[in-house]
Chains A and B, each alone.
Chain A
Amino acid sequence: MKALLPLLAALPLSSFLYLSPSAPAPKYAVADIPAALREGAHAVLRADDEVVTIKSAGRLVHTVHRVVTILDAAGDDFGRHSVGYDALNAVSYLRGAVYDADGRLLHQLRPAEVRDQGMGDTGGSFMTDVRVRYADLRQPQGPYTVEFDYEIVSDNTLFYPDWQPQEEEGLAVQSATLRVNTPTALPLRYQERQLPAGTTVAHTTAGSQETYQWQLANLPAVDDEEVAPPLAYSTPAVVLAPAAFEVQGHKGTAASWQSFGQWNYELNAGRDQLPPATLAKVAALVKDAPDARTRAQRIYSMLQGSTRYISVQLGLGGWQTFPASSVASNGYGDCKALSNYTKALLAAAGVPSYVALVGAGSDRPDLRADFPSSQFNHAVLCVPMAQAGRPDTLWLECTSQTNPFGYMGSFTGNRHALLLTPQGGQVVATPRYGAAENRQVRRVDLFLDAVGGATATARTLRTGQEHDFYSQLLHELGPAEQKKYVTDRLRLPTFTLTKFNLAATPATPTPGVVETLGLSLPGFAVPSGKRVFINANLLSRLPALPAQIGERQAAVWLPRASLHADTVRLHLPAGFRAETLPAAVQFSTDYGTYACQYQSLPDGTVQYTRHLELKRAQMPRTAYAGYLDFRRKISIADKAQVVLLKTES
């Protein structure tokens, strides 16, 4: 943005009509917070009163009254609030006020203080109609209490609001309520999650209206813990979803995956017409292809060479795909448009396929298959080679120009997706990636000189989910940035990268990236007297976790299975021999297995090998102590030192 000379930028001074509010009765005094709720809390949700009123199949109104006391600076973020809106969701009002510790009104939010901002390219969209209204009531001194009131009128009933008052760590909840009003003709679908024992819904019917009510009180603050499920999976929530809904005249029902999928399928039906030139190109491309898989492979390679991901999300366009013809002429589209386009290309090549909706993201928990509702943020393409869901089914990520053919990886693998078929939706599993696929195989040669300097070469092959990040690095950054990135993250005291290269390996059976490093390590292992100490595990140390303070609250979720295999060869300078080699270590637990050993080889070198296999698992919280011990044992073994002795000669 430009620097603007304020000479011309002076605002007209708005006249001083604003009057200080006369002092009303104090509310939300900090002293009224029970001591138990202040324990470990940076902020306390004093009240969260939400009302969802279903007006019709196509409209709902969501009102929120939210009061938060900020206890210390770490809770400051709760002092501001933003409300998103777009072409189908309007904000009727956003009001706010802030109170001091005694509950006296400090300031009432003025409309002019509410910012209204476009989202720009945040969230990866080139253009979106999503905007935010944003109010900031953070105060110079704490504690203080903010109060926000807002209402959203939604014409997008595909989504009903979720209610999860304790959305962040460090936030205690004093009181929270949810009321849903719906016409009897539009029965509510809901799912209660992690509610405290004894919490029940109050359900009443009056005439043609039904009302559901939930309340929560006195929930102490929770912490985000290591290897824990996301807070969304541990704090109380009520999730709402429509049965019948209507968006921009498109009616549907989400009562089952079948019907939800049907609506999506029909919304996008008929948007797969390709221009004749594209059809001709496809025909030429696949005319000598022996089988469906080869045809699909050629189509995918054509897609990757001629399109790119550009997301335009306007109104219903957030759910309805751009026509295939628009991708053909522009060479870009979002996930829906590119999947739809690829589906059309494959159809032209005689290969049937289905768009599949998926909740993408490496940290995202799996689909809640037991509660049909809109839980997706991405679309991929599923190409059944035989029967859907079988291992030979092909899955195509259509938004990437570099993704290996048929590979889902951390972004969309190991989870469930919703296939959109002419018969409706169908929940199927995406490809699974376990320790056999997710590997890191590393070979290091370390050459020491007599005065403590060293050089090293390291070749690391990463495959499967272990390679995803490096694949991104390779394809999305230029070579100079790649080198900088790797340099900034190497955990070595002082080094110079003398060689650096990343290269993709063939995708069979699992795609991989090979990283080759040349390192110069001046003063790496300076002799202390007659001895030199070397940690043979130069690059693959796995640190221990800090000891548990207090009682572990959350379950243990180990997100990824992997296998790391290291071989390090230490080449000693003349006049040195290995005095002490650390003992071999081996152990096997529910969390994984570890083994390492050291060997003096006949050629005078010392060889270190390490094998670490980590499991993917979900365990109760009682398993955490064992996990800590597992990591501690690995860390100790990883830090073991080889001692070299200068021989007298």
Chain B
Amino acid sequence: MQASLLLRLWWRSLPALLGCWLATGTAWAQSEPIKYGQIDKQDLTAAPFVADSAAAAVVLCDFGRSRMRGKRDGLEVVFERVTRIKILKKSGYEEATVEIPLYHREGNSEKVSNLRGFTYNLVNGSVEKTKLEPGGAFLEKRTANINVQKFTLPNVREGSVIEYAYTLTSDFLFNFQDWTFQRDIPVRWSEYRSSIPTFYKYNIIYQGNRPPDVNLMSVGSVSLLLDRTVQGGIGTGQTAGNMTIGATTEDHQWVLKNVPAFQPEPYMTTARDYTARLDFELTGEQWPDVPYRDLTGTWDKINERLLGMEDFGGRIGRVGFLQDQLQDLSTQYPDIEARAAAVRQVVMAAVRYDGHDRLYALEPLRKAFDAHRGSSADVNLLLLSALQQAGITAHPLLLSTRAHGRVSKEYPLLDRYNYVLALVPLADGKDLLVDATEPLLPCGVLPERCLNRVGRLVSKSPAQSRWVDLAPSQRHVHFQQVHMALDAQGGLSGKVHEEFGGYAAADARTELAAQGEKKYLAGVRQRHEGWALPTLALGQVDNPTKPLTLDYEFRQPATGPAAGPIYLSPLSEFGTGQNPFRRESRAFAVDFGAAQDEMLIVNLTLPEGYELAEIPKAAVVDLPREGGRFRYSVTNTLPGVVQLTSRLTLPNAVYPAEDYANLRELYRLLLARQSDKLVIQKKAGR
């Protein structure tokens, strides 16, 4: 039985199976690392915190315990927590205000009880304790399903130690309290214990860049007191007496000591993918004298369950309300790809994505259709239905958005997924991935928030269900071609043709839609400080299958008569100007989402009678393992015309942390080359 519950560990994000070691003592009965209300006076002095000068506060101890107990005729999860934090600076005062979100739905809820807290201050050498009074705690009804228990501790000063404790009871057994060891401030000691009756089977998944300092598992026992409720006739709902059942438990203890503060960096997915944490996934139930109920297990079972669920499979079917728009498409578009694009257009015109990413459509799709708005699940399950109705084979594809976190291929865990879209198998064996949430993207291109490595195809037939690579076919493409003429006074004039392709086009179109053309073009003007841009024209704005184009003319009058040579860096005006990687080093992979291609060509016409004093050297810089290339060249093949080319290609969407220094250096070299000064002088002897 123990073997079914494996402790799994992601080490450096690479799943690796580690053995669990059984302890001689029991994990649950170890002495507690913290006693509420009993503080070490030493913690109120400055000496122990010299090493934490960069932190606003330090978690001294965060201790949580979860177990199950009887509630009426079922069970509930009881989570108890004690947290003690040292406030080092005024910027750490915010740690003294805590919010606990509490979910409730259909009579099931999470509740906080026994909330208590102290602030400890050292006053004239003795410890002064101030209690959290009821006036410092509030329950806010944030939304229809979420209440927030908030509290703030009294008398918080620099040097204070704050402490709070509470019990959270939850009816949501599938959602066993998880635990995060790492926070945005350093943690001295973080400990979590769980005790789960063997009726419930959970996958426990640990994620972190080092193993826990303590990791114990043992067998315990529990008595569960249940009510037997009368199930019909007179006295329905009344209790018919108590029943105590004994059960063995599987007990765990995990400790992480001295966990550094977590700092988010640019180009990463959600912080949840990187912080040290534990997650619990309910996989099955085993009640006495009842056959084992497997709740996840295999993808085959997940597929079957999903397709049988009203909120998922139940939503895929005939959509009578789109019949008029769909009925002629199969004759109009014999080609499957073209037809899928047409169906997508119909869906996008009918229902607008409301910004919520969901895997399930909680209400019939007709409601979303009537309101013309819906979640990603409403939109894409409608799309699936509409594709099938138009005679196209289409399967649901599950994925987890970048904000939701990575999925592992190793464990079939449904609640790691929060998104569904449509996969259309094509005759050539390729897959067409169709999503109808972003009208500014062409058919077959996934929104950037979906670019999270792999998805899972859902199908009734086990043979068809499989992993699907989400690596995008589209890149981030930016192309600029400049014709620039220099006059003898140093003035510039010319024209620019610019194209945004792939994800760059989607980004540009999104920005354009949000700002309107006038503001967007004002932004272009702002990029060329001091230049006059008399005409600007956007092209292919409304056709997402084509690049967005921008054409403009520019003039920069000479600032004064040129005495001697003219110095000019023609590329610098069109480059990014700044290295996107500001920090010296990085602990995590750089996740761009998509590959990149950045090309800039400037054709510079020199004034009559002038020439280049020297042609700058060409340069080619390669990243290891064909990970990318920067190419730079200056040619002067035609007299009086200089062509400068700068091209950056980064073919990978994700670069491991080890490549960070190389990436940063690549950008440094690119910026240095783009700011190369041409020295333009009068031809000798004339």
Contacts and interface: CB of A to CB of B under 8 A. Distances in A.
Interface of A: 1-14, 16, 18, 20, 40, 42, 72-75, 98, 106-107, 110, 113, 115-118, 120-121, 126-127, 136, 138-141, 170, 223, 305-306, 308, 310, 312, 326, 329-332, 401-402, 452, 475-480, 484, 487-488, 490-496, 522-523, 526, 528-529, 531, 533, 543-544, 546-547, 549, 580, 632, 635-636, 641, 643
B675 A475 contact: no
A308 B93 contact: yes
Interface stretch (B358-366, B457-465, B586-594): B358-366
Given A42-B516, A72-B516, A479-B54, A5 B91 contact: no
Given A494-B668, A523-B668, A529 B614 contact: yes
B305 to A, nearest CB: 9
A439 B414 CA distance: 58
A632 B93 contact: no
Contact of A635 (B56, B143, B529, B583): B529
Interface stretch (B150-158, B389-397, B426-434): B150-158
A546 B518 CA distance: 13
B37 to A, nearest CB: 19
A571 B613 CA distance: 27
Q: How large is the interface on B (under 10, 10 to 19, 20 to 34, 35 or more residues)?
A: 35 or more
A466 to B, nearest CB: 21
A1 B101 contact: yes
18 contacts: A2-B103, A5-B282, A8-B174, A9-B105, A98-B372, A118-B148, A120-B148, A126-B150, A310-B97, A332-B154, A477-B91, A491-B578, A493-B672, A493-B675, A529-B614, A533-B567, A546-B525, A549-B518
A330 B154 contact: yes
A163 to B, nearest CB: 26
A402 B140 contact: no
**Closest 9 pairs (CB-CB, A-B):** A74-B516, A73-B513, A331-B155, A140-B352, A546-B525, A478-B56, A494-B668, A493-B671, A523-B672
B331 interface: no
Nearest to A529: B614
Given A5-B282, A120-B140, A312-B138, 18 more contacts: A5-B172, A5-B174, A5-B415, A13-B364, A14-B363, A117-B143, A118-B141, A127-B140, A136-B373, A308-B93, A478-B55, A487-B583, A492-B578, A495-B582, A544-B530, A547-B525, A580-B564, A643-B567
Given A107-B371, A139-B352, A491-B578, A8 B152 contact: no
A43 B299 CA distance: 49
A116 B144 contact: yes
Contacts of B372: 98, 106-107, 139-140
B626 interface: no
Contact of A10 (B53, B311, B667, B671): B311
Contacts of B359: 6
B616 A528 contact: yes
A484 B184 CA distance: 14
Contacts of B108: 8
Contacts of B414: 5
B681 to A, nearest CB: 11
A40 B521 CA distance: 13
Given A330-B136, A544-B529, A635-B530, A126 B105 contact: no
Contacts of B155: 306, 330-331
Contact of B362 (A10, A42, A329, A493): A10
B89 interface: yes
B667 A494 contact: yes
Contacts of A6: 311, 359-360, 362
Nearest to B264: A484
B24 interface: no
A126 B92 contact: no
A110 B366 CA distance: 14
Contacts of A14: 363
B449 interface: no
Contacts of B141: 118
Contacts of A115: 143-144
B279 to A, nearest CB: 9
B678 interface: yes
Interface in B358-385: 359-360, 362-364, 366, 370-373
B242 interface: no
Contacts of A491: 577-578
A120 B529 CA distance: 42
B261 interface: yes
A127 B138 contact: yes
A330 B261 CA distance: 29
B90 interface: yes
B214 interface: no
Contact of B679 (A487, A490, A529): A529
Contacts of B99: 121
Nearest to B536: A549
A636 B154 contact: no
B393 to A, nearest CB: 26
Contact of A2 (B101, B350, B672): B101
A330 B133 contact: yes
B665 to A, nearest CB: 9
Contact of A528 (B130, B348, B677): B677
Nearest to B667: A494
B526 interface: yes
Nearest to A117: B143
B579 interface: yes
A307 to B, nearest CB: 9
A254 B418 CA distance: 55
B55 to A, nearest CB: 6
A74 B54 contact: no
Given A3-B175, A531-B679, A632 B672 contact: no
